[in-house]
Structure formats: C-alpha cells, structure tokens
Amino acid sequence: MPIKLLELETQRRDAILNAALKEFAIKGYNEASTNVIAKEAGISKGLMFHYVKSKKDLFFVVYDYFTEMMNREYFELMNYDEKDIFERLRQSYLLQLELIKKYPCIFEVNKLSADSNPDEIKKELAKKYKNKQISCFERMFDLIDESKFKDSLDIGKCKHFILWSNIGFTNQILEEARNFQYDKLDYDSIVEKLDENLQELRKIFYK
C-alpha cells in the first residue's frame, strides 16, 4: 500500500477509504469517479493524488485495506470454540455491527470484484483471490454442536436454511445502513431484532 495514505491521521485516511469503497462498489472501476471520491472525502482531487499515484492504486489500496480489516477485526476475532451455531451467529453479527459503525461500506467490499471491471483489474484480483480466506459458510458452520438439532432433520440442509435466513437479515441491515445516516441507525433495535430472529430459529431447528 502507498505509505502516504496510511500515514495520514485517522479521520482523513478513513474519509478517503470510505468514500472510495462506496464509489467503487456502487459504480464499478470504470464508472467510479475520482472527483466524487475526493469531494465526498472532503479534499481536493490534487491532494488525493498526492497520497496515491492513480485511480488503479486507490482501488487496490481500498481492496487490500478492507480485506485485511475484515480478516483482522472479524474472522480473527470470532470465537470458534463456541459450538452453538446461533450463539456463533450472534457473535458474528455483533462484530459486523462494530465494523459498520467505523467503516459504513465495509461489507460492500465483495462488490469490488465485479465482472464489469477491466481485464487488468480482474487479473490482479484473481491473483489476490488465490490467497483468500475460506468461505464464511465453511468457517461459520464448521464443528458446531449438531446434537442440539431435532433428530428428524437433515442437518446439512438445515445449515443452508439457517445461512439463507441470516443472509436475508444481513441484507436487511445493509439496506437500512444505505438508507440512513450511520450515526442515526438504531443499533440497539438491530440487536433486539437479531435476538428475536435467532430465538425463532432455535425453536424451529433445536430440540
């Protein structure tokens, strides 16, 4: 990563990274505007390119920074010693919410690998993808306590049903985050809804 951007004070660095992630995720590499990124970050375009060499440099700074952030402050903080799948999911959501508070668009990072990107960008992303962490599904559902499930259920299918349900809930959170200012999101209400949903899922799948 370019050192100049990383050495900025936290508020300015995060303003640039958040603005760039939002613009690249929504519009893709080709259509993303560095003018829009600079304006949203509250700096001039000339100053922004003092911190990064080019639009391509900025794109990969954003991709690397937020991918590493996800690993460090999400995957690596998960306690996989917890064997109850619903407790594990709850823990996952609380970590996600903490990340969203600091980096509102962080869960849009997967959109950066969209097929609409030019070939040179896709090739570099493909190289990076080879070293990517195993999927969230594999991590989340590995070595859980399957004895809690009702005896008549197909546990493999149950895992997918639970996953799909929680993808829907995650998308709902992200949609609310897109539609509101983040400092106005009611995080306590989100956690309350989460607990209600997980309790209903326990009733469905557990003995």
Per DSSP, 153 falls in state: S
pLDDT confidence bin for 73, thresholds 50/70/90: confident
Contact 57, 12 (CB under 8 A): no
- Residue 151 has φ and ψ, to the nearest 5°, of -60, -30
Instruction: Name the residue with higher pLDDT: 178 or 167.
Output: 167
Question: 27-61: per-residue pLDDT in tens?
Answer: 888 889 999 999 999 999 999 999 998 999 999 89
- Residue 113 has φ and ψ, to the nearest 5°, of -95, 25
Instruction: Tell which residue, 92, 56, 62, has the closest CA to residue 77.
Output: 92
pLDDT at 134 over 80: no
- Distance between CA atoms of 118 and 67, rounded to whole angstroms? 20
pLDDT value, residue 147? 95
Q: Say whether 149 sits in a helix, a strand or coil.
A: strand
The CA-atom distances, in angstroms, between 64 and each of 57, 67, 91, 148 are 11, 5, 25, 39
pLDDT at 133 over 50: no
Residue count of the chain, please give it.
207
Q: For the whole model, what pTM was predicted?
A: 0.71
User: Cβ neighbours of residue 187 under 8 Å, at least 6 residues apart?
Assistant: 97, 101
